[in-house]
Every structure is written in C-alpha cells, then in structure tokens.
Amino acid sequence: MADLVLTRAIEERTLNAWPAIETLIAGDWMLRFANGYSKRANSASTLAPGAAMDDAAIDWLIARSDDWNVPPTVRLTPLCAPGLDARLERRGFAAIEPTFGMIAPLDAGAPAADARVRFAPRAEADWMAANAAAYGGVKADAAKLAAILSRIRPKAAFATLSDEGGPAAWGIAVAERGYVGLQDITVAPARRGGGLGRALVVSLMAWGRDAGAQRAYLHVAATNEPARALYRSLGFVDVYRITHRALIRD
C-alpha cells in the first residue's frame, strides 16, 4: 500500500517544480494547462486523499481542456478515490503511459558532482533548445518548454554535461523543503549508453544535497526499464504508481 503522506509530499513539490501556465481549482482538483507540453502540466491533479469526480466534474474538465485544445487528462495517484479509475474508463478515458514516483536518500558520503557538469540558476535559450532536441517527438518544442521553465519559483539548477564531444546531456534539479526533484533528464541520442546519464543524475543528486535536501525524487515511465534500473542502482525505490487517463478523440 502506498504511503499517502509521502505520496502527497512528492506530488505537492512536483506541481511546484513543473508549473503550468494556467491553473483552475475545482473542489479537490487542480486543472493545469501548458499548451499540451507534458502530461504533468496538462492534466487534473489532486493533493486530497480520497479525491473523486462525479460526471459533472468530468464534463467540466472536458470543457476546459477543449478550451486549451488538449486531451482531457486525469493524473491518478493513490490519493484518488478507489472508484475513480473505473468511472473514467466508463467515460471513455484510456489509460496511457503508467509512471512510477521514485525516491532516494541523499547520504552525506554520496559522490560529488561530476567535474564535467555545469549548473546554471536559470535555463538559457541554448539549454532549452538542446534539451528539447534531445527529447524529440512531441517534446521538441523549446518555446513550450520555456513557458514552463520560466515559471519555476523554488531554487533550481539547469545542468549541462559536456565532454570532448561537446554538450551531451541535460537535466533539472528543483530543491524545496528538504526534497530535490530531478526532471527533464536527457542525453543526446548519439551519445546514449556510455554512462553520461548516470553521471548527470549523480551530479543532480549532489547539487540537491548541497542545497539542503535530504531526499531526491523523480518520475519515470513504467516501460522505461533501462532508466528504472539506473535509478534503482542509485538508491531510488518506488513510492507510488501514477496512471494517466486521457480522453483521446479522433
């Protein structure tokens, strides 16, 4: 059974670490919109244990999502009422991209940041362009990424790992109230498999420890077993599972 206190602590900081452009409150739910860039910033999320939605609330979510021209999406965590997943399924919401929230302790004796990694307090245009390009696909839009990153208010670090081949990996750490969130970790496609991702994650964890955090957290797709294996090797363990339910229409 998931630890609801720890789940809420991570979810709460996640909402601050990855802000939306517009947020609407409806009962126990926050509807977040950011031009369709990422599910976290374009879905209904909750911090209230037992949060439910009736059909009227689902209708309102659909209408507001249509206003933003994004698929109506609900971020289901163990905080949600048990019957909500089935209700959304009956309404035609499909389960997409299951994700795990993971956490690791930040020990005083853990490795320091890799000397190849440089940290900046804000994301410059070239950092965002490189990060978006490394992601590719629907996350290749640097302008949409910039709209999110410019709204981060807790202390943050935008990391770049460079070697003799130039910049090769990028990531973000956001420190808040004893935790550091690791996100948007990317490695240039041609440079993957050489340990750069590990060096970057270790460095982001070290930055968080130096910023006063005692725990690091991150989210990773359930199907991304190579990443999950890497994180487990660095001390991360699963805390909770996230199911995204989205109404995908032709």
Residues 148 and 89 in one domain: no
Which segments within 106-236 are labelled E, that is strand?
A: 117-120, 155-163, 166-176, 179-187, 215-221
pLDDT at residue 205 in the model: 98
Would you say residue 214 has pLDDT above 70? yes
**pTM given for the model:** 0.95
Domain range enclosing 41: 4-100+242-246
Would you say residue 250 has pLDDT above 90? no
Residues 187-203 have a mean pLDDT of 94
Would you say residue 160 has pLDDT above 70? yes
Residues 125 and 190 in one domain: yes
Q: For the domain that residue 206 is a member of, what is the CATH number?
A: 3.40.630.30
- Residue 112 within any structural domain of the chain: yes
Would you say residue 38 has pLDDT above 80? yes
The whole-angstrom separation of Cα 244 and Cα 97 is 7
Give how far Cα 202 sits from Cα of 114, 152, 183, 214, Å. Answer: 8, 22, 13, 14
pLDDT at residue 42 in the model: 97
